Amino acid sequence: MAAQYTVMQGFAVVADAASHYPDGQKRHQEVIKVSGTMTLRFNRLARVAALLMCFAVPVIAQSDLHPQYVGSEACTDCHEEAAEAWAGSHHAKAWTKTTDANVLGDFSGTTFTQNGIMSRFYRDGETYMIETDGPDGRMARYPVHSVVGVEPLQQYLLETEEGRLQSFDVVWDIEEEKWYHLYPDQELYGGDGLHWTGPYKNWNARCAECHATDFNKNYTPTKRSYASTQAEIGVGCEACHGPGEAHLAWAGKLETSQIPWTGLSNTGLTITMSQGGEVMLQQCASCHARREPFEDGNPLPGTPFHNAYRLSTLRDGSYHADGQILDEVYVYGSFLQSKMYAQGVTCGNCHEPHSAELIVEGNGLCTQCHSEAGNADFPTLALQSYDDPSHHFHPVGSEGAQCKSCHMIERDYMVVDGRRDHSFRIPRPDQSLETRSPNACTDCHSDQTAKWAAEAIAKWYPDSAHRGPHFGQTLAVGRRDLTGSTDELVALAEYAVLPGIARATALEMLTRVASPELAARLAPLLEDPDPIVRAAAVGLQRGAPETERPAVLAAMLEDPAKTVRIAAAREFLSLRIARMPDRISRALNGAMRDWQGSLLAKADFPETQVVMAGIGLTTRRMGAALQAFGEAVTLDPQLEQGWVMMIRIHDAMGNRDDARETVDRAIEANPDSIQLALIRAELQL
């Protein structure tokens, strides 16, 4: 047992669920130090937690009956205008079959070379083929399974084994009409987790749910295999409106003797889009967000966002300190920061939902509200001229006179795919030096400094009310000096008028310095109206005295938002509890099942296996921890932290031969790793 304590006292273990990285370019190693002696008793709570280590248990399907999916073609007779707008849209073309009409790339025998590997694109009769390096590094030929996207690039999926689809990294540039590599600066070879055949480029796990309708991943951990299904490839009508069987029955298009469904709208759908507001926004956010999924595939349309996903906060590496986009974050987290969101603006105010095109092109989109006439739906707007040099101080018709140039900076992802920041912020070059964040002015005037831009804006708007403090200042300081900015982060979290995602970010940062004082002061935020804030506030309670923590957290186990319940379950895992009232025990069991299901749904994520290993360490199940770390490095051999933990555990348990064998395998997979070489020398293996 002493050896187990040694492992748990000094080494980094993951204690938080991994974020969802659909772009596959992050190895999630968000770790904390577990220090002190853990004396968790194996009581009823520990036995419940142990269920989380049963990797082969399938995720339980939704128990409520719901109508069947009928396909988009069944909708077109009655909804001709919507169907016509949808056909050919980016949603309809999100994932298509390999046909001559869909394939836009040049498969005439063209080639592309990267890192000494020449990929060839050709036809074998009617079959589109790609010859390239496979998972073992040897050249192989693959039929193109299916097609992703229509512009500005098109990607192709290859089936490396039955049911396993991988996103090939050499893609077709629609505008330039040429092949290019999505990650031109990386040297990726077979066996690397980030290679196109690796787990981070797996279509079933990372991408398919947002490119399909009623997608179910159906991963079998024991076989590491997929039997994925979907009602329809591409984002069809039912991806947003819900399964259509009951709706067809309501419309008299389908004969049925009995309708057993409950909880449907008066037209037989699982979601009522006509409600607009949060209903529409959260449905769009289910794909247009940087988030961690809780389910095996698409949640039933109409499921509240926070019951299906854990939203990523404004983390370093994903966002700039002031909340501007950095990595690809898919809109929702940005939009939640905006004054537009606070005033009730939704996606449908700017985007036609079926074609996914803008309602109006150019500045006319913004002036439907921001003008001298205003908009009766948003009475707080200042009635003044915005599309005018007196506001933007640029020549009419120029790029600088476009609203989006100043208020929606653009960043390219996947090399050529421009995405705009939806936080709709006022440019703050005066804060760029302080927050180290970009600004729209020097985005265009790249030969100038932020100081120059700030002085220009000060001349244009000498009495501006928009140059006051910004939450980005506090988050920037917190990133550089967490302990020295605790008071400021606490004040940010408590300031209810700020965006919830910014307040939750402050709370998440403070978790690393949690203390009894912080836990007590911030406990009121457990009742905040925003589930993002409540979930983040739960983590602060790990600083509360252990005798007080269960009582504080018990109510969170029954929170209406699953993201909060799971956060509470995580905190209960390390508590010593001999007995609980039956109601709390039932609530804890339910929250643990929520957490279990969310982890099992992502058992094919290496980062999830690291989380499972952390649970094993917390509950002193060293065999389970080794199993999970072993699975993590099997999926991603370059996940050095997993190898390190396996070596440390074997050594602490006195298994020198196993430690030696593990370090040999680790260095074989990572021959240039200084960390592994130092551990071998340190432990004299």
The CATH number covering residue 639 comes to 1.25.40.10
Does 679 share its domain with 557?
A: no
Mean pLDDT of the 167-177 span: 98
Region of poorest pLDDT, from 46-60, 176-190, 205-219, 584-598: 46-60
Return the DSSP state at 62.
P
Is the residue at 463 inside a domain? no
Does 562 share its domain with 624?
A: no
Measured in degrees and rounded to the nearest 5, phi and psi for residue 198 equal: -85, 175
Does 406 share its domain with 553?
A: no
Distance CA 667, CA 672 (A): 8
Does 594 share its domain with 610?
A: no
Which has the closest alpha carbon to 614: 576, 647, 570? 570
Does 87 share its domain with 198?
A: yes
pTM surpassing 0.85? Answer: yes
Does 240 share its domain with 146?
A: yes
Torsion over CA: 453, 457, 460, 463 (sign): negative
What are 132's two structure tokens?
Answer: 């390239």
Does 201 share its domain with 78?
A: yes
pLDDT at 5 exceeding the cut of 50: no
> What is the distance of C-alpha 363 from the center of its chain?
31
Last residue in a domain, options 249, 269, 288: 249
Does 310 share its domain with 397?
A: yes
pLDDT at 518 exceeding the cut of 60: yes
Contact assessment for residue 456 and residue 406, using Cβ atoms and an 8 Å cutoff: no
Confidence category of residue 259, pLDDT binned at 50, 70, 90: low
Mean pLDDT of the chain: 90
Is the residue at 433 inside a domain? no
Is the residue at 212 inside a domain? yes
Does 379 share its domain with 287?
A: yes
3-state secondary structure of 466: coil
Instruction: Provide the domain count of the chain.
Output: 4
How much is the pLDDT for 22? 35
Is the residue at 391 inside a domain? yes
Does 234 share its domain with 293?
A: no
Is the residue at 480 inside a domain? yes
Is the residue at 672 inside a domain? yes
What are 248's two structure tokens?
Answer: 């067809």
Last residue in a domain, options 583, 600, 617: 600
Range of the domain at 316: 279-426
CA distances in angstroms from 255 to 38, 78, 250, 262, 530, listed in the order given: 62, 17, 9, 18, 43
pLDDT at 7 exceeding the cut of 70: no
Is the residue at 461 inside a domain? no
Is the residue at 384 inside a domain? yes
Does 586 share its domain with 608?
A: no
Q: What is the pLDDT of residues 466-488, one digit of tens each?
A: 889 999 999 999 999 999 999 99
Does 203 share its domain with 108?
A: yes
Contact assessment for residue 25 and residue 183, using Cβ atoms and an 8 Å cutoff: yes
3-state secondary structure of 127: strand
Considering the chain, what percentage of its residues have pLDDT values greater than 70? 90
Last residue in a domain, options 249, 265, 288: 249
